[in-house]
Structure 1
Amino acid sequence: MEKKTRAAGARLPACLFVCLLSAAGLATPATAATAAVARPASRPAAGPDDARFKAIYTQEWKWRLTQRLEDDEDDDSGVRPDLPHVDPATQHARLAYWQDVLKKLDGITPARLSAPERINYAVYRAQIAALVAGQRFREYEKPLNADTAFWSNMADDGRKHFTTEKEYRDYLKQLADVPRYFAEETANMRAGLARGFTPPRVTLVGRDSSLTSVTEAATPQDTVFYTPFKVMPATIPAATQQVLRDAAAQAIATSVQPAYRALLAFMRTQYVPNAREALAAESLPDGKAYYQSKIVEFTTTALSAEQIHQIGLDEMAKIRAEMQATIAQTGFQGELPAFLHFLRTDPRFYAKTPEELLMRAAWIAKKFDGKAGQYFGYLPRRRFAITPVPADQAPFYTSGRGGPGVYLVNTYDLPSRALYSLPALTLHESAPGHAFQMPVAQEQKGLPPFRQAYISAFGEGWALYSERLGTEMGIYETPYETFGMLSYQAWRAARLVVDTGIHAKGWTRAQAQAYLHDNTALSEHEIETEVDRYISWPGQALSYYLGEMAIINARKKAEAALGARFDIRHFHDTVLQLGSVPLPVLEARIDAFIADGGKSPYPPQP
């Protein structure tokens, strides 16, 4: 176990666990709520304070659904008949609403809540605070980055499969609403452009390719939006199917494609040429406060950029030592730079076809299945598919991405997709990472719907911990695969250095790329796309390693306190049963787990 935990074993600064969201003015109530989780002997039963708190979040969630800011799990209609409203009046109303919610939360004393509602309070207050911060900084005026954009998110509906005539007709209404929606988003982008609130220009180069796949399609039937109409369920009469197909072609030709063409022209002639050149988030309007708000949002801590930068440097030094030991196991004669060049250029480490890459990913996922019962007591019911990243997104997409029901593998530019890194990637994105953790969270009963929201520090921290866990589970079969895992650990530790370097220390794009090149085995293509992602998405890259450190520290604490009573399955079940929570809530829950003798959070099976 020492080898598995060494790189992330250092204790984090104490403020990680006691300064929850203090930068947003929320430290006192949040820490009171999280601390209470660890005092099982003093937990009150549900009372009037629970009722007041539940009324606040129940009302707000219903309103949030009307704003189209979340999916309604109780709505089985399949597809919305319209797109969200994002105009300034709507945005100002949202800010005022959430500010009022925070005032109401100030009237709640966490210590008077029952134990479950104390956890809910800590999660909910952090969530509302992040929403308020986003509105205050008018992030809606920058609805794109190097990774995703509002139009690519919308196109995802085009890849769905509908089952009823109503779903098809609602989808047709949504297509007709595209011009209005794009006009509102474009107006927001103009406002951001006017005040210098844009992604850096260098990160936008070539990102219009996902627009041209629609604008340059020979016919409406060649666009992604027509996909649901190509194969329709037999329960819909043939004549009706033809009517729906004709309507879809008409809507795409008269609404969707013209809106895309207008947006493409705006991007090419106005937005990209006039986007800001500076890279740092701190160079944006009120930039220092803005970047700190992103640190709070994505790490659930009040650590400063300087503190995070130093943590990254310290952890990189530890991982470098592990790398050197692993290189020696391969028998390679040479230093780290030569070994990295060898890994990037030797054809044995790369798939020859997309199918080979997909099949290797599937094999690794099944290897985990054979180990799952030894490390987890609760297994999610939902399975996941392994599919390639859509071609229109692949050139600028990450190497993989996972979630409920899917593990996306990027088969674009195969010489950039190293097989020695595939085991770590698969554990991170599929199981026991995202495609495992998220369904477990969804299957927990009795949690309010806002608990389904994704908290990056927890979710990404768990996925990175899953990569380390692969060593213990015996997933890595060669020193090269172990090195691939260490390279991925170094990649996430490097993000602490690079993200803060870019956004708070004046690093250049070339400097950030060089740091990843010298310290990881990532390909040049991956390095370029990753650095652009960090530049255009401040703070998100900080989630991973700080989250992993919190989980590893919690495990080490439980192992030391429980000794022979420690059961890894009970620990993992306890962590995952939480869903997705701020890191201080995680630590407090493990304190309660220890106080309870390390028992499983689930009732015993008959």
Structure 2
Amino acid sequence: MRLSLLAASVAILLTGCHSNHAIQSSQAKAAVSSQAQVHTEAQKVTELVERYFAESLVLNPLSATFVGVMDYNDRFTAPISAKSLADVAAFEQKYLAQAKRIDGTKLTGQDRLNHEIFLYARQQAVDGLGFPSHLMPFNQMWGVQNFYPMLGSGSSAQPFHTEQDYLNFIKRTDGFAAYMDSAVTAMRDGMQQGIVLPKSLIVKVLPQLLAHIVSQPEDSVFYGPVNMLADNAQLSPEQQARLKADYEQMIMQVIVPAYQRTYDFMLNEYLPAGRDAVGLSALANGKAWYEHMIAVNTTLPLTAEDIHQYGLEEVARIRSEMDKVREQVGFEGDLPAFFTHLKSDPKFFFANEQEVIQAYEQVKADINRRLPALFEVFPKADYEVKAVEAYRAASSAGASYQQPAPDGSRPGIFYINTHDLKSQPNYLVETLSIHEASPGHHFQIAIQQEVEALPDFRKYEFYTVFAEGWALYAESLGKELGLFSDPYMWYGRLSDEQLRAMRLVVDTGLHAKGWSREQAIAFMRENSSMGEADIEAEVERYIAIPGQALSYKVGQRAIRQLREKLADRLEARFDVRKFHTQVLIDGAMPMPVLEAKLNRWAHTL
């Protein structure tokens, strides 16, 4: 495109070459100089984001494994220390300064998007350096204590094919143990500063740690790769025997002691020091910290009060829609009685895990047949439905998604939590499948990874408001796809949207308005048919990761508003399939960047 523009400029100048030659020669030089500057600035952006991504993988070797770069498979994240924190700070500040030196007004197309997204991300990362999140390095929702067993189970991104693969993980595990010890040190520092997890979360972490304190190596999740040895034709019997012995030693002498040390600390020292208050605002500088988390998770200039009020309005609207379903199905009691009916009647629940998985497999095929009506771009990668592993099910969300391998060697995974079947009513099947799989998370994340033109930093960039906003927006497409024809399935859609609306109220209530855990639970109980265990897990999730739950409804609203504005502006020229392509094809980005990008696209139509 730049070469074509330059050629067009030269052609125009040559057209009038017989008059005022000196002025036109000066104009030609100016045009060439201007285009050369565009190229220079574009090259700066390309080189900058490539350097950043390559250097970030050295700092984050676990991320490297997940994006298919296997050079660092024997390394773990550096232990938490003053030096490692300073290294990360210097890294982000260096790249922010370099991004600011690039003149964004001289950029167009993908170069402009690269610069806008990169600059936004680096500024946000630097802004976050002022908050001591390292003092609370994990909780029941996220952290290496749950992540590493998934990685080492033999069914995730870490490869276990060659002898070197196995040796890499053994070495990586030494780094894991060192990190766990550093996490204990950081939490002790947090105890001194009064920055600790709430007690209600600590008690949920303890069983997660205890699950990996085994007396026999074969009882460990980490034994999975050993079970794979017998079917590995690449390894001789001697190699298999040696690796089996090495792995058993790794489990019993490195992994189990690391979990034991952490468990003993959290039970005996950390739990007594845990706080009773659950909101982030209860901590020193907590109000500013929560405001930062709102900015991180929404990318929009919203206040906690704005979000809280929007949530209350949405909760009331959705309750009204639920009441219409109650009337439609002929239920004679009031809405609270209908909620109780939906929570207690056996017809709304699966009998076993196999039924759950089978139901989601069936709806997957149905949805896939309908998608061409609203989409013209589809992911190459497939996804599969799996139950959440037993060791993390008790504290995990009801459903989640794990992206496919970038090279297509591993499909995406739509995880369903079957730990409590009362938390998986059958009327959620359609809406939950849309959200987590297609056309929700699986579409958005897989397509983002597969677009060859995107630089690597954008292929794997994640903005919660974009990803979760898209997934909830995808749910709102259900009726357009011909789904939700059964009133109970429509109730399932409303139930899921009500969950996201309640999150706006509860998250801001907990972290900005001083709500207690019990107050939040009572609000959700009053406004939904969710099971008690599910409500408690949700509230504790919001306590653990402040602001994350805001992204769903805020993102959905932003995407829906953009669609409506463009449809009004373009009228007959608006094509919803092309709109969806434009939202997805450039990957995740902050909402203001998405809006500017879509406006530029609409201008070309």
TM-score using structure 1 length = 0.88
Which one-letter code corresponds to 2:347 in the other structure? R
Query: Post-superposition shift, 1:234?
Result: 1.5
1:77 pairs with 2:76: no
Structure 1 residue 110 and structure 2 residue 104: aligned? yes
Q: Which amino acid aligns with 1:512?
A: A
* 1:466-545 mapped onto 2 (5 Å cutoff): 466-545=474-553
The answer for the alignment partner of 1:10 in structure 2 is none
Question: 1:557: Cα distance to partner?
Answer: 1.5
Q: How many residues align?
A: 555
Deviations 1:109-139 (A, max 9, x none): 3222222122122211222223223332121
- Of the three residues 450, 454, 471, the one matched with 1:447 is 454
Letter in 1 for 2:226: F
1:251 matched to 2:250: yes
Amino acid at match of 2:551: S
Alignment match, 2:280: 281
Residue range with higher mean Cα deviation, 544-553 or 514-523: 514-523
Instruction: Identify the residue that residue 360 of structure 1 maps to in structure 2.
Output: 359
Contact 2:379 2:443 survives alignment (8 Å): yes
Q: In the alignment, is residue 53 of structure 1 matched against residue 55 of structure 2?
A: no
Aligned letter for 1:515? F
The reply on whether 1:421 has 2:413 as its aligned counterpart is: no
**1:581 matches 2:589:** yes
Q: Counterparts of 1:135-154 in structure 2 under 5 Å?
A: 135-154=129-148
Deviates more, 1:95-104 or 1:294-303: 95-104
**Distance in 2 of aligned mates of 1:336 and 1:398:** 26
Q: Which has the larger displacement, 534-543 or 516-525?
A: 516-525
Identify the residue that residue 393 of structure 1 maps to in structure 2.
Answer: 392
What's the offset of the Cα at 1:590?
Answer: 2.0
Q: How far apart are 1:454 and its partner, in Å?
A: 1.1
1:339 corresponds to: 338
1:223 and 2:223 aligned: no
CA contact (8 A) 1:280 1:504 kept: yes
Quote the residue 2:297 is aligned against.
298
Does structure 1 conserve the Cα–Cα contact (< 8 Å) formed by 2:401 and 2:442? Answer: yes
Per the TM alignment, residue 75 of structure 1 is displaced from its structure 2 partner at its CA by 5.3
Q: Which residue of 2 aligns with 1:238?
A: 237
Structure 1 counterpart of 2:127, from 130, 133, 138: 133
Distance (whole Å) between structure 2 residues aligned to residue 75 and residue 378 of structure 1:
24
Is the 1:43–1:114 contact (alpha carbons within 8 Å) kept by the matching residues of 2? no
Paired residues of 2:57 and 2:64 also in contact (CA < 8 A): yes
Instruction: Determine helix, strand or coil for the equivalent of 1:47.
Output: helix
Following the alignment from structure 1 to structure 2, what is the Cα–Cα distance between the partners of residues 442 and 129? 24
2:4 match: none
Question: Separation in 2 of the partners of 1:74 and 1:506?
Answer: 40
Q: Please give the alpha-carbon distance, in whole angstroms, between the structure 1 residues aligned to 2:363 and 2:537.
A: 25
- What amino acid does structure 2 have at the position aligned with 1:479? P
Q: Is the 8 A contact 2:379 2:446 kept in 1?
A: yes
- The aligned residue for residue 318 of structure 1 is 317
- Change over 3 Å in CA distance of 1:357–1:72 after alignment to 2: closer
Aligned-pair CA distance for 1:73? 7.2
CA distance in 2, matches of 1:465, 1:594: 20
Counterpart Cα distance in 2 of 1:302 and 1:270: 40
Determine if contact 2:77/2:175 at 8 Å carries over to the other structure: no
Corresponding position: 1:460 with 2:468:
yes
Q: Helix, strand or coil for the counterpart of 1:406?
A: strand
Q: Is the CA contact 1:45–1:114 (under 8 Å) kept in the aligned structure 2?
A: no
Matches within 5 A, 1:16-55: 46-55=38-47
For residues 250-269 of structure 1, the aligned pairs below 5 Å read 250-269=249-268
Structure 1 pair 111/228, CA: closer, same or farther in 2 (3 Å)? same
Q: Which residue of 1 aligns with 2:27?
A: none
SS of corresponding position for 2:211: helix
More divergent stretch after superposition (401-410 vs 152-161): 152-161
Aligned-pair identity (%): 33
Q: Can you list the C-alpha shifts for 1:197-251, whole angstroms capped at 9, x where unaligned?
A: 2221112223221211111x23112101111110121121122111101100011
1:123 matched to 2:121? The reply is no
Q: State the distance in 2 between where 1:97 and 1:248 align.
A: 35
SS of the residue corresponding to residue 64 of structure 2 reads coil
Specify the code of the residue in structure 2 equivalent to 1:57. Answer: V
Distance across 2 between alignment mates of 1:272 and 1:92: 29
CA contact (8 A) 2:298 2:554 kept: yes
Report the CA distance shift for 1:591/1:344 in structure 2 as closer, same or farther (over 3 A). Answer: same
Equivalents in 2 of 1:339, 1:43: separation in Å?
Answer: 67
**Counterparts of 1:519 and 1:469 in 2: how far apart (Å)?**
24
Q: Secondary structure at the match of 2:592?
A: helix
| Secondary structure of the corresponding residue to residue 57 of structure 2 | helix
CA contact (8 A) 1:95 1:136 kept: no
Gaps of 5+ in 2: 1-33, 404-411
SS at match of 2:347: helix
* TM-fit CA distance, 1:76: 4.8
> Cα–Cα, structure 1 residues 43 and 224, in superposed 2: closer, same or farther, change >3 Å?
farther
Q: Identify which range, 101-110 or 568-577, moves more after superposition.
A: 101-110
Alpha-carbon distance change, 406 to 45 in structure 1, aligned in 2, over 3 angstroms: farther
1:571 to 565, 574, 579: 579
* 1:158 CA displacement: 1.4
Contact preservation (8 Å) 2:140, 2:204:
no
CA gap 1:508/1:43 in 2 versus in 1, 3 angstroms: farther
- Residue of structure 2 in register with 1:164 after alignment: 162
Gaps of 5+ in 1: 1-41, 598-606
Equivalent-residue separation in structure 1 for 2:391 and 2:476 (angstroms)? 32
Offset at residue 57 of structure 1 (A): 2.7
* Residue number in structure 2 paired with 1:193: 191
Q: Secondary structure at 1:377's aligned position in 2?
A: coil
Amino acid at match of 1:248: Y
1:62 match: 54
Question: 1:386 touches 1:406 (CA, 8 Å); kept in 2?
Answer: yes
Does the C-alpha gap of structure 1 residues 200 and 116 become closer, same or farther in structure 2, counting only changes over 3 Å?
A: same
- Distance in 1 (alpha carbons) for counterparts of 2:36 and 2:503: 42
User: Residue type of the partner of 2:512?
Assistant: A
Return the structure number with greater relative CO, CA threshold 8 A, min gap 6.
1
| Alpha-carbon separation, structure 2, partners of 1:222 and 1:105 | 50
Residue type at the aligned position of 1:192: G
For 2:302, the aligned partner's letter is L
Superposed CA deviations along residues 272-306 of structure 1, whole A, max 9, x for unmatched, are 22122211111212111111110110111121111
> What is the rounded CA distance, in whole Å, between the counterparts of 1:207 and 1:510 in structure 2?
19
Asked if the contact 1:395–1:412 (Cα under 8 Å) also holds between the matched residues in 2, the reply is yes
Letter of the 1:542 counterpart: L
Contact 1:88/1:188 (8 A) holds in 2: no
Distance 1:154 1:142 in 2: 17
Q: CA RMSD in A?
A: 1.9
Q: Is the 8 A contact 1:203 1:532 kept in 2?
A: yes
Aligned residue identity for 1:54: T
Pairwise CA distance, 1:382: 0.3
With over 3 angstroms needed to count, the CA separation of the structure-2 counterparts of 1:551 and 1:419, relative to structure 1, is same
State the Cα distance separating 1:72 from its structure 2 match: 6.0
Aligned amino acid, residue 338 of structure 1: A
What CA distance in whole angstroms lies between the structure 2 residues aligned with 1:563 and 1:502?
43
